């Protein structure tokens, strides 16, 4: 056997092992991305469902408070205007502090899901 034959054989083996390694790394990368995307999607769906349930609760609580205040004040329109004013103030405060209250927590949660080492 010539020395060049053994070198060619070794190069062929290295190529085969390298190719197999790269294919395994690609599969691992695909699985890792799929897991991270599914976690993010699961988190988004959970937040959406909880937000919808919270809005339903808030709607009924607002109606009950409006009816109660309407009886106490003797005017249902005034009662619902008071409740609407409270929501307007809440919305304005939320708008002012949206970065600290909404944007930053959501971004940090998404970053945590995507860059979490396991």
Give the Cα separation of 71 and 62 in Å (integer): 14
Q: Give the pTM.
A: 0.65
Q: How far is CA 48 from the centre of its chain?
A: 10
Question: Over 60: is that where the pLDDT of 1 sits?
Answer: no
Taking only the tens place, the pLDDT of each residue in 67-88 is: 999 999 999 999 999 999 999 9
DSSP letter assigned to residue 2: -
């Amino acid at each position: 056997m010539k020395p060049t034959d053994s070198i060619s054989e070794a190069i062929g083996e290295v190529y085969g092992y390298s190719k197999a390694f790269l294919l395994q790394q690609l599969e691992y990368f695909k699985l890792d991305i799929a897991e991270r995307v599914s976690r993010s999607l699961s988190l988004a769906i959970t937040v959406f469902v909880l937000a919808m349930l919270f809005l339903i609760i808030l709607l009924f609580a607002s109606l009950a408070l409006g009816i109660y205040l309407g009886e106490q004040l003797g005017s249902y329109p005034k009662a619902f205007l008071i409740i609407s004013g409270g929501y307007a103030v809440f919305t304005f405060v939320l708008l002012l502090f949206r970065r600290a209250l909404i944007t930053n927590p959501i971004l940090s949660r998404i970053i945590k899901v995507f860059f979490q080492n396991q």
